[in-house]
Structure formats: C-alpha cells, structure tokens
Structure 1
Amino acid sequence: MDYKWRVRQVAFAALMLIGGFETGCAQPLPQTAAAPVAASQDDSVAAVQAQPAAAAQPLPGSQSAALTPDEAQQNAAGNVAELQQLIRGSELNELRTTYNGTYGASLLFNGKEMTYYVALFQNKTFWRVIKTSDEQRAEAIYRDFAQKTVQLSDVELRRTRLEAQKAFTARMIALTQDHANRLQADLTVARQQQAIVADQQKQTRDQANALQAEKSQAQDQLRQVQRQVRELQRQVEGGLPVH
C-alpha cells in the first residue's frame, strides 16, 4: 500500500514537471527583449539608407569622384540630355568653370530644385555629367573633373606648343632662306656688274690706247705740216726784205 502510494506520487510529480516545462516553452518573449531587436533592425535600415550620403562625402585628401549608386543610376538615365535641356532655359547658374585646352569642367546650380550639375566637356560638348544635391560632393567632383582636364589636355597642349614651335621654325627658315636668296641675288648682280665694269674698263683702256696712238700720229702729222708750211712760207717770201 505504501509502495503504491509512493509510485503514484512520483508519477504525479513527473507529470507536473513535464507540464510546467511545456508551459514555460510556450510563453512569448518579453517585450523588453524584443524592443532592442526592433531597434537594431531600424538602425540597420537607417545605416543602409545613409550609405549613399556617407559615400557622397569625399575621403580626406582624396580626389576620387566615384559615383554613388544613385548618381550612377541618374547618369545612366541621361544627365547629359537633362543638362542640355536645362541650359536652353534660364534655371541654371554657372558657379565655376575651368578650361584647359579644349577640355573644361563646370559646376552649375539649379536653384529651383536645389541640385548641382558637374560637367566634364570637350570642345563645349558634354562628356560626363553628374547630378547631386550634396554641395560638398559637387565641389569634390568639380575639383576632380578640373584636375582631369589638366591631365587630358597635357598632350594636347604639348602638341599645340610643338605645332607652334614647328610653325615658328618653318617661318624662320623661310625668312632666313629669303634673306639668303636676296644676298645671293645681290652677289649675282654684283658679280655681273663687276664683269660689266671690267669689260667696260678694258674697252675704255683699249679706246684710250687707240686714241693715244691716234693722237701721237696726229701730232706727228701736225708737225710735218707745220714744217711744210714754214718751208712754203720761206719760199714765198724769198728775196723780200726782212723787217
């Protein structure tokens, strides 16, 4: 009797223990424990939403202008066409512009929408256009684009200088050659004139020699005639008294 009663007591205690364990497992978690989990999820969402803004801030000392996902999506949607459309109107203000050779970078502001457009262009044709509402981001991209214009125009400016130097050298060659041609022409004229003068000198000398001979012959003839005249005069006056 005593043994059976003890068995019933043990079985009853085991059933109570099992029922209490199942009841405890079925109870919901306290709201105090769930609240931090919800708050943690909200913080994760906020962090994900804040990622583009964080990425939009330029790194210290960095000139990188890597696009945020939103900017990449906008750029793919046609920022170039959008900016060209806005330029036709009067809603944009040009804040900054840098030119290097045929390349340029501009920072433009749409006050109506409070958005910035940063453009990289060549020969006034837009190459890249970034649209952002973050002023610091726009300034960083503008500085990056301005630096790119320096790099892109380096070869172009070097070519321009070399073309100018080549043209200057060609012009100096032409001027020097023209001077040489004039000197050669002057030398040719001088040589020709010298030959003419030498020929004239020879002719004049020959003529002078001939005239000298003719003069000597004429003088001899004159002396002969004068002797003849004196002889005839003497004969004509022969026998006449002398004064």
Structure 2
Amino acid sequence: MNSNNTTRGGALVLAWFVLCGAACAAGPTAPKQSSTPVADALGDSSVRRSLLTNGAADEPQATVNGNVADLQQMIRDGRVKELRTTYNGSYGASLLFYPDEMTFYIALFQQKKFWRVVKTQVDSRAETIYADFAKNSAALADTEIRRTKLEAEKNFADRLIAVQQGRANRLQADLDVARTQQSQVADRQAEQQEAIRSLRAEQDAAQAQLRALQTKVQDLQRQSDVDMMPLPK
C-alpha cells in the first residue's frame, strides 16, 4: 500500500481510539467516514502523549492472546499506522499497517474495545475485510442510531407539548378571567335593570301622587274661590 495513505499521528490516534476516543465516547451519531485519522483533531502533542500513555491500549481485554493482544501491544509500542477508520455510532472499523513486516491489521470495535482483529499481508484482502467490517459496523449501529433519532424526536415532541400546554394554560386562564368578568357584568346588569324597574315604579307612583295632589289643589282652589265670592243681597 502506498505510504501516502498513511496519515500523520496515526498511531497516536489509534491509541486514543482504543482508549475510547472523543468520537466514540460522545455517544451514537450519524454514520460517517473519517477522511483523516482522528489524531489530527486531538490538538497539541502533549494531549496526544497523555492519551497514548493513559489510554485503553494499556487495559487488557478479554482476549489475552491472539491478534487483539498483538495489536494492543503494537499500539502501545507505536509500531502501527492508521490508514482508514470508519465510525458508525459507537461502532467502527480500522485498517492499520505494520510497515516493518508489511502486515495489515483490520479491527472491528465498539467504543473502546476491539471486537475482532484480522491480520494479513495481502493488500486486496485487507481492503476487502475492512470494507466488510465497516459495513458490519453500520449494520450494528443501526438500532443505536435509530434509538438516538427516536429519543431526539420524543424530546422534541415533549418540548412542543410543554410549549403548547403552556399556551393552553395561558388561554384557559384568560378565558376563566373573561368568564368571571362576564358573570360579574351580567350580575351588575341585572342589578341595574332591577334598579331601573324599581325606580320606574317609584316614579310612576310619584307621578300619580303628583297628579292627585294637583287635582286636589285645583279642587281646593275652586272651593276657595267660591267661598270668597260676595253674598247676594
């Protein structure tokens, strides 16, 4: 394989990845393929050295012997170079190269644990296995990714529900105030109408009394006028 396919800081990236790199630790994400090793995003060299020294490559996995253990040791020794890496959620696949023996290591992983590691000196076989592992990682991450999307959709729906519930509560409060005020206004109107009827009855009674008094006054006036007339001789 052309050495131009190797990328700067590959060994450091892989050590970082094995120890649960940022892309895996961040949780499920949409499938993506890295065009450059993740080491390029790790920042300054002191950070990379710290990740390499204290990373998961120093943590033994269930497989004590075999390709997994060999690859872990080579990562610790900084003898392999990362050529390709694919991430799908918390799963992924890596193609690594050991130039001293012209050997390729193809790893399937989940978060910071290697799952399967295959080694070969055949370039085309390495690429085929890597493609299969990358495809497997996509299939394995499918439920994880769908769960992440569904959780996001549910959370979004919950936020919309909360917003609409708040709006409904405000509208209900306004409606309650309006209904209370309307009831008070109706009661006030009824009181006013009753007062008007009462005052109208009182006014009618007063008018009747006034007319009666006016008639009485007229009668008394006539009687007075008659009494004041001179007596016939």
1:125-176 residue CA offsets vs partner (Å, 9 max, x unmatched) = 2111112222222111101101111221222223333333333333333333
Identity in percent: 58
Q: 1:79 to 1:216 in 2, by over 3 A?
A: same
Letter of the 1:161 counterpart: K
Which position in structure 2 is the counterpart of 1:102?
A: 90
Please point out which of 147, 155, 158 is paired with 1:159. Answer: 147
Which structure has the highest helix share of the two? 1
Q: 1:126 to 1:98 in 2, by over 3 A?
A: same
Distance 1:142 1:121 in 2: 12
User: What secondary structure does 1:127 align onto?
Assistant: strand
Q: What is the aligned length?
A: 160
1:80 equivalenced with 2:63 (yes/no): no
Which position in structure 2 is the counterpart of 1:133?
A: 121
Distance 2:181 2:68 in 1: 75
Q: Which has the higher contact order (CA 8 A, sep 6+)?
A: 2
Looking at CA atoms only, which structure, 1 or 2, has the larger radius of gyration?
Answer: 1
TM-score in terms of structure 1 length: 0.50
Which position in structure 1 is the counterpart of 2:108?
A: 120
Gaps of 5+ in 1: 1-74, 222-243
Q: 1:117 to 1:209 in 2, by over 3 A?
A: same
Kindly state the Cα deviation for residue 182 of structure 1 after the two structures are TM-superposed: 2.5
Letter of the 1:196 counterpart: Q
1:163-205 residue CA offsets vs partner (Å, 9 max, x unmatched) = 3333333333333333333222222121111112222333444
Kindly state the Cα deviation for residue 212 of structure 1 after the two structures are TM-superposed: 7.0
Distance 1:141 1:185 in 2: 65
Please point out which of 174, 178, 181 is paired with 1:190. Answer: 178
Gaps of 5+ in 2: 1-62, 210-233
User: What secondary structure does 2:65 align onto?
Assistant: helix
1:175 equivalenced with 2:159 (yes/no): no
1:53-95 residue CA offsets vs partner (Å, 9 max, x unmatched) = xxxxxxxxxxxxxxxxxxxxxx983322232233334333211
Distance 1:152 1:92 in 2: 26
Distance 1:121 1:204 in 2: 84
State which drifts further: 107-116 or 211-220.
211-220
Q: CA RMSD in A?
A: 3.8
Distance 1:103 1:162 in 2: 19
